[in-house]
Amino acid sequence: MEPLPDAIKAFLAAARVCRIATVRADGQPHLIPVCPVYNGDQILYVDIGSRSASAEGVGGNGLVAVLVDAYDEDWSRLKGLLLRCRAQALEGEAVEAAWRQIREKYPQYGSVGWEPRLTLALSIQEWRQWGILERPEYDPR
């Protein structure tokens, strides 16, 4: 995959929340909000419950869809980014390295005593955007 354009990287780095979608073993979709940290290249770090439906979905096929969006009442200013990713569970020092970045971006984790559970590196495989590189156009049909 080509490197992400700078505007996409900036949008991703600024994101305070995104949604990740997985598919359960029974084929049912599952969607949750998470607080992402972008490494500036091709990886997003997120942390999820180790026994959650999302963890089950990741364990099944390793594929995750990520949605980052910015809503505005003026729909000409809507922005969004859909990422298709491959998830890898981190271990050992890789967890600590990811969590240094997570704690830096979200100091709130410290105030609630949140510790690593299942920390994932989401490797971006494919992406689509709207409103980030250019204003969205709408066809009223």
Mean pLDDT within 7-32: 95
Q: How many domains does the chain have?
A: 1
Query: What does pTM read for this prediction?
Result: 0.92
CATH of the domain at 69: 2.30.110.10
Mean pLDDT within 20-41: 94
136 falls within a domain: no
89 falls within a domain: yes
Which residue segment(s) compose the domain that 94 sits in?
Answer: 6-130
10 falls within a domain: yes
33 falls within a domain: yes
Lowest mean pLDDT among 10-19, 60-69, 130-139: 130-139
pLDDT in tens, 105-117: 999 988 888 889 9
Radius of gyration, alpha carbons of the chain? 16
Closest CA to 59 of 90, 22, 33: 22
